[in-house]
Amino acid sequence: MIGKASAGFRTRSRAVLCSTLFFGLLTCGTALPASAADCPGHPDALGTSRTLVVDPREHTKIGTMQYAETLPLRDHEVVLTFDDGPLPRNSNQVLAILAAQCIKATFFEIGEMARSFPDGVRKLRDAGHTIGTHTQTHPLTMNKMPIERAKAEIDDGIASVKAALGADADTSLAPFLRIPGLMRAEAVEDYLASQGIQTWSADFPADDWRHISSQRVYDLAIQRIEAKGKGILLLHDIQARTVAALPRILETLKARGYRIVQVVPATPDRPATPTEPQEWQLHPTSENVAISHWPKIPNFVFARTDMLASAAPSDFEGADGELLLRPEPFDRVNRHVRGVPLPQEAPWPREWLLPASSAAVALPVPASTVFELPELPRPTPEAVARLAPRAKPVVVAEREPPEAIAARVGNSPRALRGKNRIGHGKQLNASHKGRRGTAVAAHKGPNVVHARRGGSPKHLAQVKKRNV
């Protein structure tokens, strides 16, 4: 009760304010957001703030996902669009959600779906939504197929939706079309424009046609709306994930101050909403940007245009019909402009007499000796022998007898140190020396046979030890 009283008070206060400022200081004809009275049973409904009337022939392509222009929306205004219906199982739930919030949206219907479920198309009309088309079979090759086939897809889709609407199809169907998959094709867009049909893209999708969760659909929708601040939202009423995410999307939009706008086509009885060209840009140039205050270049119209005279051959020919290179008029000696000297006179003659164009300039032919190289004498064998490096003689070591190796190893310092550590007498050392010498002499291993003369006793002892 208190809510209704406060709402009535706000309405009466606005009426008094508008009647007071009647000198054009305030415009009261702007559509207001839907109040509780406009949505019975839903006092907290988001509602539809206003209706935007557009002329498809003035702006043939909209949606910044692909085109330069979009709908002339104000900040925090959103247009809801749904593709691919009708599909009763999910489309009816979408209609119920929108009805609970008193929201009007735009639906792009497929011809085959309209033929299969004509009641779904009529429900859209009865609920007051805007109805557009989405081709006959939803092909994803509109950018590749022949133009005649593309025309058939467009025309058949329109005919199918009109057949579902019935007698008032001409007034109920809007000349709006969205190409399946947003596949751009210049020939298709030109054909739509020639038929007075406006091509719709979008400003941000929610990716609800992909295999993602309803939570992800909600997140993408809100994030992308917040990123741009306004625009056309692309959804699909045939998807269950969209049905699950839509209530939360609308609830968040209302909580963050967004408003829903319905778009309808202009008719002779319903003129287009007045707009400025910059309003059809998603983010037009702000007044805070310096370029917006920069003087615009005027469009001059010249009533009389004088042409500069072209140079004649007589301006370049001398007395005898020869071309002359005249000195530059500013090239004077010792001339200064504000203390800066100009180029001095060149040391070469000021005028060159060039031969006439018919005269051929002949250059001297070079002699054959210019390209000849002198033949160098070949070196003699004696000279080659003198220049060749001398080879060092190869010294081949003779094989050392085993007896000499055994005697030298027995008298090595290592053998003597071993004798002292044992602690035996000279007789034991002599017998031990004799046995080891005999063993070394009897050994025929490769390491001993190939040892070089004069090798290290230490090395020979190690070799013997490894071979035992």
Per-residue pLDDT of 104-151, as tens digits, reads 999 999 999 999 999 999 999 999 999 999 999 999 999 999 999 999
Alpha carbon distance 223, 249 (integer Å): 11
Among 250, 284, 318, the domain boundary falls at 284
Contact in structure between 105 and 82 (CB atoms under 8 Å): yes
Contact in structure between 184 and 202 (CB atoms under 8 Å): no
Q: What is the pLDDT of residue 363?
A: 73
Contact in structure between 80 and 233 (CB atoms under 8 Å): yes
Closest Cα partner for 94 from 105, 78, 108?
105
Evaluate whether residue 214 is within a structural domain. yes
Among 284, 302, 331, the domain boundary falls at 284
Q: What is the pLDDT of residue 451?
A: 42
Evaluate whether residue 36 is within a structural domain. no
Is the entire prediction scored with pTM above 0.75? no
Evaluate whether residue 459 is within a structural domain. yes
Q: What is the pLDDT of residue 38?
A: 72
Closest Cα partner for 225 from 214, 216, 236, 234?
234
Low-confidence ranges of the chain (pLDDT < 50): 1-37, 330-333, 422-425, 428, 437-454, 463, 468
Based on the domain organization, do 275 and 413 belong to the same domain? no
Based on the domain organization, do 75 and 214 belong to the same domain? yes
Q: What is the CATH number of the domain that holds 132?
A: 3.20.20.370
Strands (E), 237-386: 259-265, 336-337, 340-341
Evaluate whether residue 346 is within a structural domain. no
Closest Cα partner for 188 from 152, 158, 153, 151?
151
Based on the domain organization, do 267 and 407 belong to the same domain? no
Alpha carbon distance 234, 382 (integer Å): 96
Alpha carbon distance 154, 268 (integer Å): 25
Q: What is the pLDDT of residue 439?
A: 47
- Phi, psi (5° rounding) for residue 464? -65, -45
Alpha carbon distance 178, 110 (integer Å): 10
Evaluate whether residue 114 is within a structural domain. yes
Closest Cα partner for 244 from 456, 94, 142, 347?
94
Phi-psi category of residue 41: left, alpha or beta, with phi > 0 → left and psi -120 to 50 → alpha: left
When divided into structural domains, the chain yields a total of 2
Q: What is the pLDDT of residue 29?
A: 34
The number of beta carbons lying within 10 Å of the beta carbon of residue 101 is 21
Q: How many percent of the chain have pLDDT more than 70?
A: 59
Among 233, 256, 284, the domain boundary falls at 284
Dihedral sign from CA coordinates of 293, 299, 305, 309: positive
Strand partners, 358: none
Alpha carbon distance 414, 361 (integer Å): 100
Phi-psi category of residue 266: left, alpha or beta, with phi > 0 → left and psi -120 to 50 → alpha: beta
Q: What is the pLDDT of residue 106?
A: 98
Alpha carbon distance 263, 275 (integer Å): 14
Alpha carbon distance 45, 272 (integer Å): 27
Evaluate whether residue 337 is within a structural domain. no
Structure tokens at 457: 């006793």
Alpha carbon distance 203, 65 (integer Å): 5
Contact in structure between 64 and 203 (CB atoms under 8 Å): yes
Residue positions counted in the chain: 468
Closest Cα partner for 438 from 464, 456, 413, 416?
464
Domain that includes residue 445, residue range: 402-467
Q: What is the pLDDT of residue 314?
A: 61
Alpha carbon distance 71, 261 (integer Å): 10
Based on the domain organization, do 108 and 248 belong to the same domain? yes
Closest Cα partner for 264 from 150, 417, 104, 139?
104
Element containing residue 376 per DSSP (H, E): none
Q: pLDDT digits over 210-222, tens only?
A: 999 999 999 999 9
Strands (E), 138-237: 173-177, 198-200, 204-205, 231-236
